[in-house]
Amino acid sequence: MKSYELKNLNITNSVFLLTSPIIAILGTLLWLYVDGFSWEILGLAFVFYILTGMGITAGYHRLFAHRAYKANSIMKVLYLIFGGCALQNSALKWCNDHRVHHGKVDTEEDPYNINEGFFYAHMGWILLQENIEDYRYSKDLLKDPLVMLQHRFYLPMIVVFGFLLPAIIGHVFFDSFLGGLFVAGFLRVVVVHHATFFINSLCHMVGNRPYDKEQTARDSWLMAFFTFGEGYHNFHHTFQADYRNGIKAYHFDPTKWLIKSLSYIGFTSGLRVTREEVILEKKIRAGLKDIENQTTFTDKVNERVENLKDELNQILEELQVQSRDNKDKLVARLDEMMSEIKGLSLQLELVHA
């Protein structure tokens, strides 16, 4: 377990992370006392919550860290400004940490290793983070002038856009400087912090693992609801280059919807999507492995599992050479196989219970 002794702490990070909730609460009380409650200020805070939260998920995460799509300069500037105002470091630093997280997930080298416990993965790692400027995983970003500009002017940028801007909007339009500063500024930062910190903590703890059971990342619609769609984290860790995290139309993934909508007006392009058969193959193999791990495994089930494995390999081979029409039929067959595997799993669980 990590030790949170004073000598180990990153003082700047710790002071900000621990005092910002206090400033947010006291400031909000001051706003209520001096200016009184107003829905407009709450609305302003919500707009900044969406802008900065999505700046992280659509911008920092899916664009800059994973290159899951391309964006024009207007979007890149907006992502860098508002993602920056979520106060989670410059894009360069954030993406570098995140790429290490994917490459070394669940190991000692994972910056937010969940095996160190919920608190460490959630925010403890930020309290203990050393100030090392080693960007070996982000050579592409070091060459990006906009990313480097944001890195250089990060501090003045967050003061101006993260705090002064909402305060001025609050003052000019809603007659409340305090509401803009403390509710749309500080309180909003604290809420966005914890919403996105959940991705590193609870998204590695809550939910199931349909694609890869070897690592801790999990899929959960509930977590997706709190994290702008990033809760389909097992899918994301398995197919990190995909611009989507929730792949079904009904999956709650507002980050995916934003990226897709922007593609219709040419602001985003080259959206990377994993082929359906590749996704189904992963799911089928994970499902079969699950059945094989059951203690109530019988000869009959064993035979069926072997047959399904053979059929899967055969279909994958055929998919390489087939025309589009036949491909659709084969993919539909993979879908059926997945349903059968789910049924088999359920039966075994019932027997086991």
Closest approach of Zn ion to the CB of residue 40, in Å: 35
Of the candidates 132, 103, 121, the residue with the CA atom closest to the CA atom of residue 2: 121
Site string for Zn ion, 240-279 (x = CB under 5 A): ----------------------------------------
Cβ atoms within 10 Å, residue 264: 8
Residue 80 beta carbon to Zn ion: minimum distance, rounded to whole angstroms: 18
Query: Smaller CB distance to Zn ion: residue 82 or 239?
Result: 239
- The residue type of 232 is Y
**Which of 20, 200 has the CB closer to Zn ion?**
200
As a whole number of Å, the CA-based R_g of the chain is 23
Task: Considering the complex, state which of residue 169 and residue 217 has its C-beta at the smaller distance from Zn ion.
Answer: 217
- 227 and 238 in contact (C-beta within 8 Å)? no
Q: Which of residues 128-187 bind Zn ion (CB under 5 A)?
A: none
Name the β-bridge partners of 70. Answer: 269
In the complex, least distance from residue 179 CB atom to Zn ion, rounded to whole angstroms:
34
The distance of closest approach from Cβ of residue 207 to Zn ion in the complex, given in angstroms and rounded to an integer, is 12
Question: Interface residues for Zn ion in 305-324 (CB under 5 A)?
Answer: none
The four Cα atoms 194, 225, 244, 147 give a dihedral, to 10 degrees, of -30
Angle 337-205-68 from CA coordinates, rounded to 5°: 65
- Max alpha carbon distance in the chain (Å)? 75
Sequence-ordered list of residues with C-beta below 8 angstroms from that of 30, at least 6 positions apart, any chain: 178, 182
> Distance between CA atoms of 202 and 207, rounded to whole angstroms?
9
Q: CB 21 → Zn ion: shortest distance, Å?
A: 24
How many chain residues bind Zn ion (CB under 5 A)? Answer: 1
- Tell which positions 81-100 bind Zn ion, by CB under 5 A: none
Q: Interface residues for Zn ion in 199-228 (CB under 5 A)?
A: 217
Q: Which residue is nearest to Zn ion (CB)?
A: 217
Q: Tell me how far, at minimum, the Cβ of 149 lies from Zn ion, in Å.
A: 24
Least distance from C-beta 208 to Zn ion, angstroms?
15
Taking alpha carbons only, the member of 267, 241, 244 closest to residue 254 is: 244
Ramachandran class of 38: left when φ > 0, alpha when ψ lies in -120 to 50, beta otherwise: beta
Between 108 and 299, name the residue whose CB sits nearer to Zn ion.
108
Q: Which amino acid is at 30?
A: L
268-269 and 70-71 beta bridge pairing: antiparallel
Can you tell me the distance from the alpha carbon of 65 to that of 90, in angstroms, rounded to the nearest whole number? Answer: 12
Q: What share of the chain is helix, strand, coil (3-state, %, to 5)?
A: 70, 0, 30
By C-beta, is 62 or 76 nearer to Zn ion?
A: 62
Report, in Å, the least distance between residue 102 CB and Zn ion.
6
Q: By C-beta, is 14 or 52 nearer to Zn ion?
A: 52
CB nearer to Zn ion: give 195 or 217: 217
Residue whose CB is less far from Zn ion, 157 or 223: 223
Closer CB to Zn ion, 101 or 188, in the complex: 101
We find the least distance from the C-beta atom of residue 221 to Zn ion, in angstroms, to be 17
Residues that bind Zn ion (CB under 5 A): 217
